[in-house]
Amino acid sequence: MPNAETTRSDHSREPLLTIGYGNKRSLDDFVQLLQTHGVDYLVDVRTRPFSKFRPEFSQEPIAANLKRHGIAYIAMGEMLGGRPSDPTCYTEGNVDYGKVRERGWFATGLTRLETGWREGHRIAIMCAEAAPGRCHRTKLIGEALAGRRVLVAHIDADGVIVSHEAVMARLHRGQISLF
């Protein structure tokens, strides 16, 4: 029988997941996907954790729903959101991911995710966009975590798990970046 340390080590080989709810995914389907993949913690990386069009995914309702299903909700949009409040993270009105990556608050958020993953917790980070290639959770957070050797995978709009490398390859149209 494996000891706790072996179990933890084996569990940490599971990827840290990302997921979005989009326009079509119901809250029940969303929770079912999390349960299917054994998620213990849902980390909300929306800068503003509410939805005018999908109010069931706003912070309070989703946190309460997840709690009923044994999944902890953690809001980390201040550290990992795609629209930071820091005005120095923008170039000509657009978020500059390079500048965000240099901020201490972003590094702190990444460290919290990485630590939880390395301790064997099953984590999914959530944003609104269902397609991972269109969201900062892939291009900013996923890339930064992959750089830290955290295994990342994405639950796509169809509910299928896709490796981080495959999503990035689609974004780069199969071309490998030299940088």
pLDDT digit string, tens, across residues 100-109: 999 999 999 9
User: Is the model's pLDDT at 8 over the cut of 50?
Assistant: no
Largest CA distance in the chain: 58
pLDDT at 173: 76
Q: To the nearest whole number, what is the mean pLDDT of the chain? A: 90
Q: What's the CATH number of domain 4-171, 3.30.450, 3.90.190, 3.90.1070, 1.20.120?
A: 3.90.190
Secondary structure, 3-state, 73-126? EEECHHHHCCCCCCHHHEECCEECHHHHHCCHHHHHHHHHHHHHHHCCCCEEEE
Which of the 8 DSSP states describes residue 46?
Answer: -
User: Is the model's pLDDT at 11 over the cut of 60?
Assistant: no
pLDDT at 175: 53
- Distance, in Å, from the CA atom of 117 to the CA atom of 122, rounded to the nearest integer, reads 7
pTM, two decimals, is 0.88
pLDDT digit string, tens, across residues 113-142: 999 999 999 999 999 999 999 999 999 999
- Distance, in Å, from the CA atom of 56 to the CA atom of 61, rounded to the nearest integer, reads 6
Q: How wide is the angle at C-alpha 14 spanned by C-alphas 173 and 25, nearest 5°? A: 65
DSSP H or E stretch at residue 147: helix 143-147
